[in-house]
Copies of this chain bind each other. A is one copy, B any other.
Amino acid sequence: MRKKISIGKKILSANEEYALENSLFLSERGKLCLNMISSPGSGKTTILSRTISELKNKIRIGVIEGDIQTDLDAEKIRATGAPAIQINTNGACHLSAAQISTALKQLPLDDLDLIFIENVGNLVCPSAFQLGETGKIAVLSVPEGDDKPIKYPAIFAKSKALLINKIDMLQTVGQADFDIERVKLDVRKLNKTVEIFPISAKTGEGMCNWYDWLLRTVKTPNQP
């Protein structure tokens, strides 16, 4: 008969080991690091570009870009004047903590208050992999429809903030397909503490509330 031996210690996966290292690395330096997750095309890069441009006299932001292929997104970020490191996953559906560990050392961290990670466009897999970030930011865009929080609950349950982007399209999409109050209600059922910001990164509507939250959070990076 086999005996079950409890060693009373959680064995970390390689990814969790790197994530823990990244987390310590960031908190020792007092840096806020936010991992942005959404479907492809919900507007992550546009949100980041506008945020960097409009906050550049207040906080210094660097970006780690995750994409399967191309460095298009890092180029868009660099056009704002911010430093950006591009990671190509070459087919993999999410960033890993080891990739973030390398990228963090390539950024000029001493000159930055805030590091954004823009994960691979995927509402499912990236939410399952810790990168050592201070917190996760979910983005849901209006044309994707209001049923996404109940169909893909994991990322909405784990995020510190949810950006409901492309609210300039609310009228075009119609309330039958995107009822913003329904989204808020469904997300609150999954996550009582999440901050929800309806925004349009294209027109700028609603962005000031997101900026206020970011500025407050940068001051206390370990309790976002």
- Assess whether A40 is interfacial by the CB under 8 Å rule: yes
Given A122-B123, A124-B93; A72-B41 close (CB under 8 Å): no
Question: What is the predominant secondary structure among interface residues of chain A facing chain B?
Answer: loop
| CB nearest neighbor in B for A174 | B202
What residues on B are CB-neighbors of A151 within 8 Å? 40, 67-70, 72, 121
CB pair B123 A124 closer than 8 Å? no
CB pair B172 A72 closer than 8 Å? no
CA distance A152 to B72 in the complex (A): 12
Residue with the highest number of chain B CB atoms closer than 10 Å, among A93, A148, A153 = A93
Considering the complex, which residues of chain A in the window 142-168 have a beta carbon less than 8 Å from any beta carbon of chain B? 143-145, 147-148, 150-154, 166
Considering the complex, which residues of chain A in the window 45-99 have a beta carbon less than 8 Å from any beta carbon of chain B? 67-70, 72, 91, 93
A140 to chain B, nearest CB (A): 9
What residues on B are CB-neighbors of A40 within 8 Å? 39, 123, 144-145, 148, 151-152
Chain A, residues 114-144, CB within 8 Å of chain B (1/0): the string is: 0000001111110010000000000001011
Number of contact residues on A: which range applies? 20 to 34
CA distance A145 to B202 in the complex (A): 13
- Assess whether A14 is interfacial by the CB under 8 Å rule: no
What residues on B are CB-neighbors of A148 within 8 Å? 40-41
What residues on B are CB-neighbors of A150 within 8 Å? 69-70, 72
Give 19 CB contacts A-B under 8 Å. Answer: A39-B41, A39-B123, A39-B144, A40-B144, A41-B143, A68-B151, A68-B153, A69-B153, A72-B147, A72-B151, A91-B154, A93-B122, A93-B124, A93-B125, A120-B124, A141-B143, A143-B143, A143-B166, A169-B169
